[in-house]
Structure 1
Amino acid sequence: MNPLPIIDQKKPHVLFVPYPAQSHIKCMLKLARLLNHKGLSVTFINTQTNQKRLVKSGGTRWLDNTPNFQFKTVPDGLPYATEDDIEHTQTVAELWSYMGTNFYDSFLDVVSGLETPVTCVVCDGFMTYTNTMLAAEKLKIPVILFWTMAACGFMGFYQVKVLMEKGLVPLKDESALTDEYLDMEIDWIPGMEGLRLRELPEIMRYLKPEDPAFKYLLETAQAADNVSHIIIHTFEELEDRLVKGIKSIFPDVYTVGPLQLHLNQIKEKETNNMDVSYYSLWKEEPECIQWLQSKEPNSVVYVNFGSIAVMSLQELVEFGWGLVNSNIYFLWIIRTDLVDGEAVVLPQELKDAMNEKGFVASWCSQEEVLNHPAVGGFLTHGGWGSVIESLSAGVPMICWPVAGDQQVNCRQMYKEWEVGMEIEKNVKRDEVEKLVRVLMEGLEGEKMRKKAIEWKKTAENAVSSNGLSCLDIEKLVNMIINL
């Protein structure tokens, strides 16, 4: 890596502040590289640990050939003695707490150390709790909020503010948390008609207004009202009425996805063969692709529950037996920390059975896997990064949502976009087996596959020269230049 990146003082200079998690960093790095390619200088802030992990995994190997792009780091409360320690991160709660207390001063230190003035800050919508906006205001730097999710995910989180204004949250006590309450339909969001309260993010879980998590969600939603420009990682055709509804509330909204397809186009068009690396905090295992090479088209179900989601060992075993009993080939990513609070130790009988049809790895290049001809379906937790990558590859899904926007993504996936099915929260091997077979062999699965391929074509059109996402990227760049 170039130890002294040079930022051109004549170019607009954008400072990126991602939420320090894999999917957020990956998405924001893609936008950062796209804006950099359009002529803007970029400084990207990572936590010290995540930057070490990114470098170790090869996620910054493109940096030497990318002028006017630099990384800066801030502390995350984790002193490490050796490079090996960087795989062991603190919990989400620990990181959240440390960043909430310390990021404001760290951010001011980073900006004061930059040789080139900052034109604007592109801040992750979930980093506003760190007082990034307050720090930027102090420095008189405009802030653009970037929601690295779908419009439905953004509106799902935004509802905490709306529901509080309507007196529906927080609840007075647990006795009010009835099925009747959770099944209440929300009728005021175009494009999400029939959405039930239980399908929103974890808003209903909190019973007291002073609950730190409730305050966090509320302040995050309110922050959206305090900026002039919002970026959402979707493409307008996918969520047409919902995006129109959001644009009726907020003054300037840019839908810029799928970002990977923008980068792919640049790589295809340009002679310098731009490296569009996948920006992973984990080392990707090339054996996954090698294994897929020997399989027939649409014969493999890819299984990955993302970078943060955890499950019990029993749930892991149920998924394992369901996949084995389906008799379908499967590529399964099992992170070392996938099981909550304990090591991943599968029964020997299950391990032996999995070897017949399955290939297990700890991480892979997900977009490369999803675009491989052998992959015909995706069993996912429904995180937006995974969903938009699957849509971009034309691959239908089975969804087992865990937290955050995953439930509402899953709901839209099967109700609005017709490309998926949902597994019950209380996962059972028989249901896993049945849905995998439906997805991979049934007429219903074939119907979803055709629909997914239609969405893939729509996504490709969105990033074409006259596509809505392409035009919004140009508007965004021009707006930053004119700040």
Structure 2
Amino acid sequence: MGSQSHVLVVSFPAQGHVAPLMKLSHQIADHGIKVTFVSTEFIIARLTTTMPVKSLRRLVSLPDGLEPGDDRTDALKLINSFQEVMPGHFKDLVEKSNESYDDRISCVIAGISVVWAFEVAEKMGIKSAAFWPAGPATLALTLRIPKLIEDGIIDTQGTPIKNDLFWLSKEIPAWKSSEFPWSFPGDSRMQNIFFQYVFKMNHSVKLCNWLLCNSFYELDSLALNLIPGIIPVGPLLSGNQLENHIGSFWPEDSTCLSWLDKQPVGSVIYASFGSTSTFNQQQFDELALGLELTGLPFLWVIRSDIANEALSEFLDGIRSRIADSGKIVCWAPQEQVLAHPSTACFISHCGWNSTLEGISMGVPFLCWPYFADQFQNKSYICDFLKVGLGLNPDENGIITRQEINTKIKTLIIDDGIKTNALKLKEMAKKSGTEGGSSFKNFESFIEQIKQ
């Protein structure tokens, strides 16, 4: 009898990349395949503190090349260091693992941006699968970069040559030229580094044997059809309560679930802006006042890593004012919150993981994108899927309390949006259960890596 298949899963060190790959890893392990999850020492240490007891125990950390005191939210520093230092350590890890017959690596699955993992796998004769953690349309655009340059739409630094709308096809929402996934208006250095990083993903696709994505065919067949060979295996969800912490960087405050139990059905506004969004003090004020103006109960996630002294005083003030009508937590078990009968709508930054989770739970969105692919996700939610509304900033770039109050009240009485959201929920559920499109794709992928 042959040895058990062994998959190495490698993630870029960011919350939006780690969480879906960790969920995918659990699903692969459930099929009797040995899975080792690899990321940086910093990320593995964070995961270890938040993970439930029943979880993947094969976690391997590799140095990211940064000093202990370095700022790991500095994307430029992290990307450069990650690309320089990790490949050598990763090659050593694979070689060491391959010394034992029972631990030989049969497949490497890596986030599509971790180009060096595919280069190492190819040199060592190991099959690999690239995993795309964002929406299919954003990948279709990324794979079109050489053509965008050739057609004179962008230059070799990713800067738009003219201020215009760009369509991949007439059926898919257009991009504003200032809102490409690599766009950082006013910061050319950041944009150039991100653009080069994104551009390299084209190389990953050429090297890998499979291309997986966290979506499902019925959600966006138009974009998926533009990407040869793509395998949608989403929505990747935690599934049961025990595993709700999968891939989370912060301890989840589950007291919000018992608080939700006390609220009327379909009454709570859930506001969460992901792992990277930040607001200035004025914007925090407007959001707090906008939520209060609605007169509805709200659950608001404010990460501990952005709570400075001024913000802490501000939050203390809000907490005393809102008493029972609102609850503020540092991090929430999001899938359970979105699935809760009391949750009425989701004010979101429109990161892809949050977008899919909201869709899977049938919750209408109020869209507040921050950067990268989130603007395109907002277009999908509002204009293509019609399951949400956008929040529009005023002339000073602030989303005002009046705008927040008005849009929430409009959203929660919009029966068309509610109906669309519930239809998508059913489609998502069907795709991931036996006989569904993503279920079949995943089963087929598992069979192939076992061979």
Fold conserved (TM > 0.5)?
yes
Please report how far the alpha carbon of residue 103 of structure 1 lies from its aligned counterpart in structure 2 after TM superposition: 0.8
Separation in structure 2 between the aligned mates of residue 111 and residue 348 of structure 1, nearest angstrom: 50
Matches within 5 A, 1:122-271: 122-128=109-115, 131-170=116-155, 181-186=162-167, 188-189=168-169, 191-203=171-183, 205=185, 211-246=192-227, 250=228, 252-260=229-237, 264=239
Which deviations, in whole Å up to 9, do the C-alpha atoms of 1:370-426 show, x marking residues without a partner?
111110100000001101011111101011111121111111011111101111252
* CA distance in 2: counterparts of 1:423 and 1:406, whole angstroms: 13
1:21-420 correspondence runs (5 A): 21-57=14-50, 59-63=51-55, 70-77=58-65, 89-114=72-97, 115=100, 116-128=103-115, 131-170=116-155, 181-186=162-167, 188-189=168-169, 191-203=171-183, 205=185, 211-246=192-227, 250=228, 252-260=229-237, 264=239, 275=243, 277-338=245-306, 344-346=312-314, 350-355=318-323, 357-420=325-388
The alpha-carbon deviation at position 198 of structure 1 amounts to 3.6
Question: What's the C-alpha RMSD, in Å, of the aligned pairs?
Answer: 2.9
Residue deviations 1:260-284 (CA, integer Å, cap 9, x gap): 2xx63xx6xxxxx985643312111
1:48-101, Cα deviation, whole Å (9 max, x unpaired):
1211111112x15213xx6xx611111134565xxxx99x85433332222121
Aligned 8 A contact 1:31 1:259 in 2: yes
Q: Give 2:36's aligned amino acid.
A: T
Distance 1:347 1:370 in 2: 24
Q: Does the C-alpha gap of structure 1 residues 197 and 344 become closer, same or farther in structure 2, counting only changes over 3 Å?
A: farther
**What is the SS of the residue equivalent to 2:389?**
strand
Please list every run of 5 or more consecutive structure 1 residues that lacks an aligned counterpart in the other structure. Answer: 1-7, 268-272
Cα shift at 1:132 = 2.0
- One of 431, 447, 451 as aligned partner of 2:420: 451
Letter in 2 for 1:364: A
C-alpha displacement of 1:194: 4.0
Q: In structure 1, give the amino acid aligned to 2:91.
A: L
Q: How many residues align?
A: 442
In structure 2, what is the Cα distance between the partners aligned to 1:400 and 1:352?
26
Structure 1 residues 39, 189: closer, same or farther in 2, change over 3 A? farther
Q: Which runs of 5 or more residues in structure 2 are unaligned?
A: none
Partner of 1:464: 433
AA paired with 1:461?
Answer: K
> Does the CA-based 8 Å contact 1:419-1:448 persist in structure 2?
yes
1:109 Cα offset (Å): 2.1
- Cα distance in structure 2, aligned partners of 1:351 and 1:429: 18
Letter matched to residue 389 of structure 1: E
Q: Is the 8 A contact 2:256 2:332 kept in 1?
A: yes
Inter-CA distance 121–235: structure 2 relative to 1 (3 Å threshold): same
Q: 1:305 to 1:344 in 2, by over 3 A?
A: farther
- Is the alpha carbon distance of 1:433 and 1:144 closer, same or farther for their aligned partners in structure 2, counting shifts above 3 Å? same
Q: 1:307 to 1:274 in 2, by over 3 A?
A: closer
Q: Is the 8 A contact 2:22 2:247 kept in 1?
A: yes
Cα distance change of structure 1 residues 189 and 122 upon mapping to structure 2, 3 Å threshold: farther
Whole-angstrom distance in 1 between the partners of 2:257 and 2:242? 22
Partner AA of 2:21 in structure 1: M
Alpha-carbon distance in 1 for matches of 2:163, 2:169: 17
